């Protein structure tokens, strides 16, 4: 069953600016690890950000578990965002806060303003955070400040923060582009394990085609805001890749 | 060698041309010098020669002996200075604190990346900052003395209003320079605006803002020391009274006391700022 259905999605950053997404449609199913590949500037990041409306799409529909995301009001949008975890290229942790507080920030959507002010998260959130930190392999770093960690460790915090939301969909925006090849593979493997353990479908925008082929079961290829390929990983081949990346040579 | 095209079109510069240019330069410079000298002489004539009460000043000896009245310390006054010194200190502390509270909306409005409704709120924020800084603390104090009467309270208000500009401007600039990544991440969790500010913005700007606040507090000690001149409490008030009763040694004592608390403020500020950054 399709968890996420995107139809004819269009986006531009300013009224007169160029259209970044030119009518993209695809479907993500319950157990998909979905890759979005394509050259720089193809609109991959924009596409992922349109799903939780960090970028406002200009036209099109996004259906998520029966809700039409593009029609939601501000408050409804916040409630929806609680169900969509996101992992970023630059980790986007709050550097001056502890690892624990960063992971707990995944619960902000469920936390009142007063509790937020005093960072007084419920006991079960803290227990859950400890469990997740242990699961992603950095239980010993709980009290460190986020900027004391290495890149790979920071991304593990990012993964724990996203899972803290109990998400029903994970958006991954180039999760490994700031990491070296070995750590990249470790992080992808970890995300994949966690995704199947928590039964969360993933939509992963990824630059590295080899990682996409290795870890993802479906791929869409973007080129200049247009979908050039959509299908299971097995049907992807050298010719189609060359076509998707043709623009980059020019 | 292929040269950049522009070079071949450069006008020919000859020896005569350079001399010509220099000559013109020299002319302009002489005119400026003559004008400046004339203006200076005119100022001296108007503000010093014509405007000074030469008879009241008397001879050089008179001037020296007038100045010498300040040499010497009224030791008996010091016990009476403790309370005003503490008051000065308190005016600075409370004034800074109140100023910080006013800064929160001012910085929020005046930082272009988070201002709630840019066409309206941004100018309001910036206007508050400019207004606060372009009015001298003595003028603010006069205003508040007229509004709420003599005492420490108008001093606190004056210090607060004068502090808003600098703290809010520096804070707004710190906010404008933040990394937007964490903000995006916090928003993506479903956090509301308040939570985004608290988790995404405050931790990023806090060290800078604290450092600015401490710096401003140190300056505010200096400011509150003189606010008494216009009736707003503290050491300045004692200074004013000693001057009015012609107790010049007492004036010197107050100056020493002011120097003392400023030094204390500087030392405290240095160490707290070091621990914050």
Identify the residue with better confidence: B217 or A239: B217
| Residue-wise pLDDT tens digits, A115-154 | 999 888 999 999 999 999 999 999 999 999 999 999 999 9
Residue pLDDT, tens place only, B96-147: 999 999 999 999 999 998 888 889 999 999 999 999 999 999 999 999 999 9
Helix B78-110 and helix B152-176: axis angle, to 10°? 40
| Contact with chain B for residue A105, Cβ under 8 A | yes
Which of 1.10.3720.10, 3.30.300.30, 1.10.150.20, 1.10.600.10 is the CATH number of B79-276? 1.10.3720.10
CB contact under 8 A, A80 and B190: yes
Q: What are the CA-CA distances from residue A116 to residues A124, B40, B198 (Å)?
A: 15, 63, 8
Cβ contact A105–B187 (<8 Å): no
Residue numbers in A near B174 (CB within 8 A):
none
Which contacts qualify for B89-93: CB closer than 8 Å, 24 or more apart? B89/B221, B89/B224, B89/B261, B89/B265, B90/B152, B91/B152, B91/B155, B91/B156, B91/B159, B91/B220, B91/B224, B91/B227, B91/B232, B91/B233, B91/B234, B92/B159, B92/B217, B92/B220, B92/B221, B92/B223, B92/B224, B92/B265, B93/B217
In chain A, the domains with their CATH numbers are 2-83+167-249 (3.40.50.300), 98-165 (no CATH)
Q: A31-35, A111-115, B21-25, B121-125: lowest mean pLDDT where? A: B21-25
- The length of chain B, given as a count of residues: 277
CB A29 within 8 A of CB A190: no
Nearest to A52 among B188, B199, B207 (CB): B188
Closest partner residue to B181 (CB to CB) among A92, A97, A117 is: A92
- The residue of chain A nearest to residue B184, with distances taken between CA atoms, is A54
Nearest to B190 among A96, A108, A117 (CB): A108
pLDDT tens digit string along B34-43?
999 999 999 9
Residue A188: per-residue pLDDT: 94
Whole-angstrom distance, CA of residue B219 vs CA of residue B159 = 10
Share of residues in chain B with pLDDT > 90 (%): 60
User: Any idea which of A23-27, A81-85, A156-160, B60-64 has the lowest mean pLDDT?
Assistant: B60-64
pLDDT at position A41: 85
Query: What is the chain B residue with the closest CA to A116?
Result: B195
pLDDT at B7 over 80: no
pLDDT for position B9: 60
- To the nearest whole Å, the CA of B11 is away from the closest chain A CA by 41
Average pLDDT value for chain A: 91
Of the ranges A123-127, A190-194, B57-61, B204-208, which one carries the lowest mean pLDDT score?
B57-61
Q: Is B206 on the interface with A (CB under 8 A)?
A: yes
Write the pLDDT tens digit of every residue in B68-102: 888 888 888 888 889 999 999 999 999 999 999 99
Contact of B189 with chain A, judged by CB distance below 8 Å, is answered with: yes
Residue A81 and residue B188: Cβ atoms within 8 Å? yes
CA of B200: which chain A residue's CA is closest? A94
Q: What pLDDT score was predicted for residue A242?
A: 84
Inform me whether the pLDDT recorded for B58 exceeds 90. Answer: no
User: Per residue in B141-199, pLDDT tens?
Assistant: 999 999 998 889 999 999 999 999 999 999 999 999 999 999 999 999 999 989 999 99
pLDDT single digits (tens) A53-73: 999 999 999 999 889 999 999
pLDDT higher than 60, residue B5? no
Cross-chain Cβ contact A90/B199 below 8 Å: no
Residue B1 has pLDDT above 50, yes or no: no
Closest residue to B189, CB basis, from A90, A91, A106: A106
Find the mean pLDDT for residues B214-243. Answer: 89
Tokens 């259209």, residue located: A19
**Chain B CB within 8 Å of residue A46 CB:** no
Q: Which residue has the tokens 């003395």?
A: B145
**What CA–CA distance (Å, rounded) separates A82 from A78?**
7
Count of residues making up chain A: 250
Label residues B218-237 b or e (16+ Cβ within 10 Å = b): bbbbbbbbbbbbbbbbbbbb
pTM for the predicted model, two decimal places: 0.78
Q: Chain A: nearest CA to B274, how far in angstroms?
A: 17
C-alpha A189/C-alpha A137 separation (Å) is 13
Q: Could you identify the residue written with the tokens 């108007």?
A: B46
Closest C-alpha among A45, A82, A53, A49 to residue A206: A45
Q: What is the dihedral of CA B165, B170, B173, B179, to 10 degrees?
A: -140
The model's confidence at residue A201, banded by pLDDT at 50, 70 and 90, is: very high
**Residues in chain A closer than 8 A to B194 (CB atoms):** 113, 116
Closest chain B C-alpha to A161 CA, distance in angstroms:
9
Domain boundaries, chain B: 5-49, 79-276
- Buried b or exposed e, range A162-184, using 16+ CB within 10 angstroms: bbbbebbbbbbbbbbebbeeebb
Taking CA atoms, what residue in B is nearest to A55?
B184
Q: Please state, in angstroms and as integers, the Cα–Cα distance from residue A6 to each residue in A1, A3, A67, A106, following that order.
A: 14, 10, 12, 25
| Of A7-16, A147-156, B57-66, the least confident | B57-66
Q: Which one of A108, A113, A205 makes the best mutation probe of the B interface by having the most chain B beta carbons within 10 Å?
A: A108
Reported as a pLDDT band with limits 50, 70 and 90, residue A8 is very high
A107 interaction partners in chain B (CB closer than 8 Å) = 189
Best to test chain B binding among A83, A88, A92, A145 (most B CBs inside 10 Å): A92
pLDDT at B3 over 80: no
| pLDDT for the residue numbered A250 | 43
Helix or strand holding residue A25 (H, E): strand A19-29
Backbone angles phi, psi at A219, to 5 degrees: -135, 135
- Residue scoring higher pLDDT (B266 or B10): B266
């Amino acid at each position: 069953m399709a968890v996420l259905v995107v139809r004819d999605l269009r986006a531009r950053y300013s009224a007169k600016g160029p259209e970044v997404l030119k009518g993209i449609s695809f479907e993500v199913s319950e157990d998909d690890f979905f890759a979005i590949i394509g050259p720089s500037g193809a609109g991959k990041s924009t596409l992922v950000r349109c799903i939780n409306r960090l970028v406002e799409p200009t036209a099109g529909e996004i259906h998520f578990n029966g809700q039409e995301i593009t029609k939601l009001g501000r408050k409804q949008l916040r409630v929806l965002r609680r169900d969509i975890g996101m992992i970023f290229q630059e980790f986007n942790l709050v550097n001056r806060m502890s690892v624990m507080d960063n992971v707990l920030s995944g619960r902000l959507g469920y936390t009142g303003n007063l509790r937020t002010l005093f960072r007084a998260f419920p006991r079960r959130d803290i227990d859950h955070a400890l469990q997740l930190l242990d699961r992603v392999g950095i239980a010993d770093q709980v009290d460190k400040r986020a900027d004391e960690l290495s890149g790979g460790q920071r991304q593990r915090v990012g993964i724990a923060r996203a899972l803290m939301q109990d998400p029903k969909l994970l958006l991954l925006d180039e999760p490994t582009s700031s990491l070296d090849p070995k750590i990249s593979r470790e992080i992808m493997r970890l995300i994949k394990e966690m995704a199947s353990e928590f039964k969360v479908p993933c939509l992963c925008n990824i630059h590295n085609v080899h990682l996409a082929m290795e870890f993802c079961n479906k791929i869409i290829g973007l080129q200049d805001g247009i979908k050039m390929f959509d299908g299971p990983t097995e049907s992807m081949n050298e010719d189609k890749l060359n076509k998707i990346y043709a623009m980059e040579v020019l | 060698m292929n040269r950049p095209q522009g070079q071949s079109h450069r006008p020919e510069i000859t020896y005569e041309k350079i001399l010509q240019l220099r000559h013109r330069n020299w002319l302009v410079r002489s005119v400026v010098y003559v004008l400046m000298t004339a203006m200076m002489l005119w100022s001296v004539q108007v503000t010093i020669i014509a405007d000074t009460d030469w008879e009241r000043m008397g001879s050089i000896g008179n001037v020296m002996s007038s100045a010498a009245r300040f040499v010497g310390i009224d030791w008996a006054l010091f016990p009476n200075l403790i309370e005003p010194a503490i008051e000065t200190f308190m005016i600075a502390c409370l004034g800074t604190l109140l100023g910080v509270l006013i800064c929160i909306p001012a910085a929020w409005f005046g930082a272009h990346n988070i201002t709630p409704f840019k066409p309206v709120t941004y100018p309001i924020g910036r206007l508050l900052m400019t207004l606060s800084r372009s009015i001298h603390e003595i003028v603010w104090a006069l205003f508040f003395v007229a509004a709420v009467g003599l005492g420490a309270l108008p001093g606190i208000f004056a210090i607060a209003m004068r502090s808003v500009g600098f703290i809010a401007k520096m804070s707004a600039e710190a906010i404008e320079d933040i990394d937007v990544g964490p903000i995006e991440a916090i928003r993506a969790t479903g956090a509301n605006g308040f939570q985004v500010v608290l988790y995404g913005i405050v931790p990023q700007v806090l060290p800078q803002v604290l450092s600015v606040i401490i710096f401003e507090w140190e300056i505010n000690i200096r400011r509150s020391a003189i606010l008494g001149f216009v009736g707003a409490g503290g050491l300045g008030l004692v200074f004013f009274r000693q001057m009015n009763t012609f107790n010049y040694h007492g004036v010197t004592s107050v100056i020493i006391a002011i120097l003392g608390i400023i030094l204390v403020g500087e030392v405290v500020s240095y160490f707290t700022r070091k621990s914050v950054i």
